């Protein structure tokens, strides 16, 4: 009886996990081996045709480059912008800290579609930025900030920022105020304290934050789709289009598997690297 | 000083979309024009008369309530076992149950479509509710495992020596003490399910669509301030949930270490 | 209120040497028994096995006529006061104290009366509606005690329950715990690593070492007639002289592979030239003079090794004595114990 209790408590969760996670991922693997017969039909098989087509298509490589590029850019920008916020939250003793902490992760609490609408308002042709630029006479025609890569990079950077902030905060554990104070008493001006003490000590946090930003941006869907206005193609948008527009499930599954493997590869590389650095 | 300016600028960037979408929702114009030529509530009126959106909102609320109940009912016992009981493979089970948080939602969504479609689960209530579990359950397990693991030591033992049966210990001591975590987990699960769009896009059906999906499709087609009004409604909903939780237990304690 | 008997109780965590190793111990009905031992010797583990919180690997636990070795915790009716107090933070003092009665299904009116009684016994009147965090350390300690005795336990277990209090409060609480235990005539097992605490309030002391009982006896027996070298050195201060050496002990002359032990306050301090009395003597030079409350300890280097003598602070013997001065030390063989090294 006693030995069965953990199992009884865990069983429903494990069953749910199998139903909505394990089996779906396995099914993607299985259907990637089917053969597509056009217009939504597919034939049960164990064939590598779909993968052959996938890797022979130069579009696949373009999508990979696009996704990687986008993720690199957004992860870096998000880490750069999130760092001051995280450091501030880590240190402040303000009684508004709780409120400021909530604001920092607030974007997580609204739908990604809502945030896209917000960026349309800010970046649109008649939006805030263009209105400001035009009225200041800096430009004489609206600068296209949406329906292109610019919009996607801006929107996606913002949408992964809360996760980056949380990772940075989690990683700041080793950052000890007294060490910075020690450096200051030894005669280091604030900017040198930052460069010589704070920044090196927060490198692990930065690496973690960047990784989270990268992984999330790499497979992001809503921002590239809606802010890209159909002109930004990445792996995620293509997987969706293959599955829902072209209804070519084997192709969608193969590409999903490919994108998933790339994500896992990045995660594995990070794990290996941090182990090596720690050792 | 430079640091402070950087922090303010970073917050500005982070919150810009939310702030300006509120401004534009009260516009009298037909487009997302900035600054709004005039103020009006016409887009809120349009939104509330938009039957499809209103029906979707109601469905999403019901769905979120179902998903939250399910995730707690399934996730809380699992988290309890992981945090408070000793058995082989604890760490591995925790890792497995929280792994979906780390992998691309889009891929999970596609997988769920491929599995659910042949069984006719796509576009059905059970199908949607189950699919949302893929994102809410790992979160509940993670929050509640922490909540249970950080309970003060000895309290459950003390209750047992005072004659409380294991069931009484759970309901009189463990759950009340884990209540802050429980409420936070419930609120997050509700909001996440209510806002979920990626997985939903794969498995909603023509007759059963959720609010974020309707909104996604609307934005693909038009850009008028009605979606801004809708965005404001959703932001207000999130703020109310956060305030409610804050009122009950101090949400801030759960997000800020 | 029942007799407690532990027979060959054993518990090992993982592969480490057993935390409790074949422990056998009895506490008579109404007895206040101290379980005294250094940190890590297995005291808490023993208490938790008795309470039913940790299953014993081997051995029996008998309470009265009943074998409770395998009984579930909540059926044992044993009051346990935790070192951390383990008060329920979401209940006030009354809620905490009444919890056990509620679990027993005691009707509300009686419950209230018994909670009030427990509050009175522990001098907590008027504080019943405070939450634990609104109480001082001493008050929390009392609530923990009140909660444990409110269920009228057959046995009361106290796990280093005074160690979080400051010295003065600790002394006060010792007396109170003793009074409460006596008034209720509850058999009690009082765990501590503090010998003063154990010797001053308990009827009987059991000295524990590496998961076993080394000696069980009255405070006087333990102090005057330690059964093992460990007990001798753990309780009170002790001089140790390794044999072979020209030292006479109660049991005869000190040979190789043996250690002689004598308490510093039984060693007399002799000024230079004074005739040695007693059958053991050594001369040496003063190394250090230390005040320990109202006694003074003089440590000297002698051919037998370092030896200490203690005299009253009021004694003229140590006045004018400086580090480096020659002194003589003398003690009687009847105060000298001998143990295998
Ligand atoms: N839950 C546990 N898991 C593993 N080892 C433990 C556990 N509890 C106690 N121990 C070990 O058992 C030994 C005895 O511990 P304990 O009974 O707490 O001693 P005491 O209360 O006398 O200080 C110690 O070495 C301790 O490290
Ligand atoms: Mg202990």
pLDDT digits (tens, 9 = 90+) for C232-278: 889 888 888 887 888 888 888 888 888 889 998 888 888 766 666 66
Q: Is the CB of C192 under 6 A from ligand 1?
A: no
Domain ranges (residues) in chain A: 58-278
Condensed to tens digits (0 to 9), the pLDDT of residues B58-82 reads: 999 999 999 999 999 999 999 999 9
In Å, how far is B165's CA from the nearest CA of chain C?
6
pLDDT classification of A230: cutoffs 50, 70, 90: confident
Cα A120 to ligand 1 centroid, rounded to whole Å = 62
Cα C306 to ligand 2 centroid, rounded to whole Å = 33
Q: Would you call B158 and C82 a contact, using CB atoms and an 8 Å cutoff?
A: yes
Q: Is the CB of C19 under 6 A from ligand 1?
A: yes
CA distances from C137 to B10, C83, C156, C169 (A): 46, 12, 21, 9
Sort out which chain B residues have CB atoms less than 8 A from C79's CB and list them. Answer: 161-162
3-state secondary structure of B70: helix
Which ligand 1 atom is the nearest neighbour of the CA of C45?
Answer: 17
Q: Distance between CA A85 and CA A90 in Å, rounded?
A: 8
The residue whose CA is least distant from atom 3 of ligand 1 is C13
Q: Is the CB of C45 under 6 A from ligand 1?
A: yes
Domain span including residue C104: 4-233
Element (H, E) at C52: none
Q: Would you call A124 and B14 a contact, using CB atoms and an 8 Å cutoff?
A: no
Condensed to tens digits (0 to 9), the pLDDT of residues C155-193 reads: 999 999 888 888 888 888 888 888 888 888 899 999 999
Q: Which of B153, B164, B177 sits opposite C74 (nearest CB)?
A: B164
Which residue of chain B has the CA closest to A7?
Answer: B81
CB A143 within 8 A of CB A130: yes
Chains that touch B (3 or more CB pairs under 8 A): A, C
- Which CATH number applies to B52-256: 1.10.3720.10, 3.40.50.1820, 1.25.40.10, 1.10.10.10? 1.10.3720.10
Q: Which of A20, A87, A98 sits opposite B112 (nearest CB)?
A: A20
> Quick one: C50 and C140 in the same domain?
yes
Has residue A79 got a pLDDT over 50? yes
Sort out which chain B residues have CB atoms less than 8 A from A111's CB and list them. Answer: 194-197, 212, 215, 234
Q: Could you tell me the two tokens for B252?
A: 């801030």
pLDDT of residue B257: 33
Q: Which of A114, A226, A253 sits opposite B235 (nearest CB)?
A: A114
Q: Distance between CA C185 and CA C167 in Å, rounded?
A: 27
> Quick one: C124 and C260 in the same domain?
no
Chains that touch A (3 or more CB pairs under 8 A): B
- Looking at C192, C218, C233, the residue that finishes a domain is C233
> Quick one: C96 and C42 in the same domain?
yes
Question: Looking at the CA of C14, which ligand is closest?
Answer: 1
- Quote the ipTM score: 0.92
Which residue of chain B has the CA closest to A264?
Answer: B103
CATH number at residue C150: 3.40.50.300
The residue whose CA is least distant from atom 18 of ligand 1 is C44
Which residue of chain B has the CA closest to C74?
Answer: B163
CB neighbourhood size of C334 (10 A) = 12
3-state secondary structure of B178: coil
Q: Would you call C88 and B173 a contact, using CB atoms and an 8 Å cutoff?
A: yes
Q: Which residues of chain B have pLDDT under 70?
A: 250-257
Has residue A162 got a pLDDT over 80? yes
B123 phi-psi bin (left φ>0, alpha ψ -120 to 50, beta other): left
Cα B161 to ligand 1 centroid, rounded to whole Å = 20
Has residue C33 got a pLDDT over 80? yes
CB neighbourhood size of C5 (10 A) = 16
Element (H, E) at C282: strand C280-292
Q: Would you call A131 and B131 a contact, using CB atoms and an 8 Å cutoff?
A: no
> Quick one: C265 and C328 in the same domain?
yes
Domain ranges (residues) in chain B: 1-40, 52-256
The full length of chain C comes to 341
Sort out which chain C residues have CB atoms less than 8 A from B165's CB and list them. Answer: 74, 103
Q: Which CATH superfamily is domain A58-278 in?
A: MetI-like (1.10.3720.10)
Residue pointed to by tokens 């995280």: A86
Return the residue in C83, C89, C103 with the most chain B beta carbons within 10 A, the one to mutate for interface testing. C103
Q: Which of B19, B78, B238 sits opposite A13 (nearest CB)?
A: B78
Q: Distance between CA B95 and CA A21 in Å, rounded?
A: 13
Q: Distance between CA A219 and CA A207 in Å, rounded?
A: 19
> Quick one: C17 and C32 in the same domain?
yes
Which ligand 1 atom is the nearest neighbour of the CA of C46?
Answer: 17
Question: Looking at the CA of C159, which ligand is closest?
Answer: 2
Condensed to tens digits (0 to 9), the pLDDT of residues C287-302 reads: 998 888 788 888 998 8
Residues of B with CB under 8 A from a CB of C: 152-155, 157-166, 168, 172-173, 176-177
Cα C40 to ligand 2 centroid, rounded to whole Å = 7
In a mutational test of the pocket of ligand 1, which residue from C9, C13, C35, C80 has the highest number of ligand atoms less than 8 Å from its CB? C13
Q: Would you call B110 and A256 a contact, using CB atoms and an 8 Å cutoff?
A: yes
Which residue of chain A has the CA closest to B188?
Answer: A109
Sort out which chain C residues have CB atoms less than 8 A from B164's CB and list them. Answer: 74, 99, 103
Q: Could you tell me the two tokens for C309?
A: 């003598």
Q: Distance between CA C313 and CA B30 in Å, rounded?
A: 98
> Quick one: C27 and C133 in the same domain?
yes
Q: What average pLDDT does the segment C93-110 reach? A: 94
Number of domains in chain C: 2
Q: What average pLDDT does the segment A71-93 reach? A: 94
Q: At what angle do helices A58-91 and A199-218 cross, to 10 degrees?
A: 140
Cα A9 to ligand 1 centroid, rounded to whole Å = 29
Has residue C335 got a pLDDT over 90? no
Which residue of chain A has the CA closest to B37?
Answer: A126
């Amino acid at each position: 009886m006693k030995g069965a209790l953990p199992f009884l408590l865990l069983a429903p969760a494990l069953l749910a996990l199998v139903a909505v996670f394990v089996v779906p991922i396995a099914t993607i693997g299985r259907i990637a081996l089917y053969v597509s017969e056009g217009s939504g039909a597919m034939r049960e098989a164990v064939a590598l045709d779909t993968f052959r087509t996938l890797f022979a298509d130069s579009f696949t490589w373009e999508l990979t480059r696009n996704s990687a590029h986008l993720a690199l850019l957004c992860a870096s920008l998000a880490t750069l912008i999130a760092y001051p916020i995280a450091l501030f939250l880590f240190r402040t003793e303000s009684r508004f800290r709780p409120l400021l902490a909530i604001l920092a992760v607030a974007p997580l609490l609204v739908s990604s579609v809502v945030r896209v609408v917000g960026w349309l308002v800010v970046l649109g042709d008649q939006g805030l930025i263009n209105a400001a630029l035009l009225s200041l006479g800096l430009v004489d025609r609206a600068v296209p900030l949406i329906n292109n890569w610019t919009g996607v990079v801006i929107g996606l950077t913002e949408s992964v920022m809360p996760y980056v902030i949380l990772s940075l905060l989690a990683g700041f554990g080793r950052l000890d105020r007294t060490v910075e104070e020690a450096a200051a008493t030894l005669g280091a001006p604030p900017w040198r304290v930052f460069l010589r003490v704070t920044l090196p000590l927060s490198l692990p946090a930065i690496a973690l934050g960047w990784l989270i930003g990268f992984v999330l941006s790499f497979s992001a869907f809503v921002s590239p789709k809606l802010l890209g206005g159909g002109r930004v193609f990445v792996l995620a948008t293509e997987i969706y289009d293959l599955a829902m527009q072209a209804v070519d499930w084997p192709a969608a599954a193969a590409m999903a598997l490919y994108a998933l493997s790339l994500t896992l590869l990045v995660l594995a590389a990070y794990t290996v690297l941090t182990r090596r650095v720690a050792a | 000083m430079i640091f402070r300016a950087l922090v303010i600028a970073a917050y500005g960037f982070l919150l810009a979309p939310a702030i300006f979408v509120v401004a534009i929702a009260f516009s009298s114009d037909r487009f997302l024009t900035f600054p709004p030529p005039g103020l009006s509530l016409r887009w809120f009126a349009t939104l509330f008369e938009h039957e499809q959106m209103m029906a979707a909102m109601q469905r999403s609320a019901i769905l979120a309530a179902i998903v939250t109940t399910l995730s707690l009912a399934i996730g809380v016992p699992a988290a309890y076992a992981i945090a408070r009981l000793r058995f082989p493979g604890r760490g591995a089970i925790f890792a497995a149950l929280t792994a979906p948080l780390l992998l691309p939602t889009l891929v999970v969504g596609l997988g769920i479509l491929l599995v659910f479609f042949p069984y006719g689960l796509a576009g059905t209530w059970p199908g949607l509710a189950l699919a949302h579990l893929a994102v809410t359950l790992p979160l509940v397990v993670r929050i509640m495992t922490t909540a249970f693991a950080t309970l003060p030591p000895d309290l459950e033992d003390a209750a047992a020596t005072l004659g409380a049966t294991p069931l009484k210990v759970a309901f009189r001591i463990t759950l009340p003490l884990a209540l802050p975590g429980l409420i936070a987990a419930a609120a997050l699960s509700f909001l996440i399910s209510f806002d979920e769009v990626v997985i939903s896009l794969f498995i909603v059906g023509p007759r059963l669509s959720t609010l974020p999906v309707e909104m996604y499709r609307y934005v693909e087609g038009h850009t008028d301030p009605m979606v801004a009004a809708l965005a404001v409604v959703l932001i207000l909903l999130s703020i109310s949930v956060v305030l409610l939780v804050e009122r009950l237990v101090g949400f801030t304690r759960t997000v800020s270490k | 209120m029942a007799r407690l008997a532990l027979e060959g109780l054993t518990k090992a965590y993982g592969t480490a040497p057993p935390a409790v190793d074949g422990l056998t111990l009895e506490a008579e009905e109404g007895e206040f028994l101290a379980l005294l031992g250094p940190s890590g010797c297995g005291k808490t583990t023993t208490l938790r096995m008795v309470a039913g919180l940790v299953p014993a690997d081997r051995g029996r636990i008998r309470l009265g006529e009943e074998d409770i070795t395998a009984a579930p915790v909540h059926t044992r009716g044993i009051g346990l006061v935790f070192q951390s107090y383990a008060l329920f933070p979401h209940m006030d003092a009354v809620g905490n104290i009444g919890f056990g009665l509620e679990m027993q299904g005691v009707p509300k009116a009686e419950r209230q009366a018994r909670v009030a009684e427990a509050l009175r016994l522990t001098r907590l009147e008027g504080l019943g509606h405070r939450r634990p965090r609104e109480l001082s350390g001493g008050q929390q300690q009392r609530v923990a005690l009140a909660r444990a005795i409110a269920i009228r336990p057959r046995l009361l277990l106290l796990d280093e329950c005074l160690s979080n209090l400051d010295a003065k409060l600790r002394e006060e609480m010792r007396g109170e715990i003793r009074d409460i235990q006596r008034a209720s005539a509850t058999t009690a097992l009082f765990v501590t690593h503090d010998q003063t605490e154990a010797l001053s309030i308990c009827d009987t002391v059991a000295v524990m070492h590496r998961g076993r009982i080394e000696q069980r006896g009255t405070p006087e027996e333990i102090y005057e007639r330690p059964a093992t070298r460990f007990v001798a050195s753990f309780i009170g201060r002790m001089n140790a002289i390794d044999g072979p050496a020209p030292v006479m002990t109660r049991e005869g002359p000190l040979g190789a592979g043996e250690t002689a032990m004598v308490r510093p306050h039984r060693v007399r301090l002799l000024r230079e030239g004074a005739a040695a009395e007693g059958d053991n003597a050594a001369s040496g030079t003063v190394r250090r003079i230390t005040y320990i409350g109202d006694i003074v300890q003089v440590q000297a280097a002698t051919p037998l090794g370092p030896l200490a003598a203690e005299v009253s602070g009021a004694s003229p013997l140590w006045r004018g004595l400086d580090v480096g001065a020659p002194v003589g030390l003398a003690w009687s063989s009847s105060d000298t114990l001998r143990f295998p090294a």
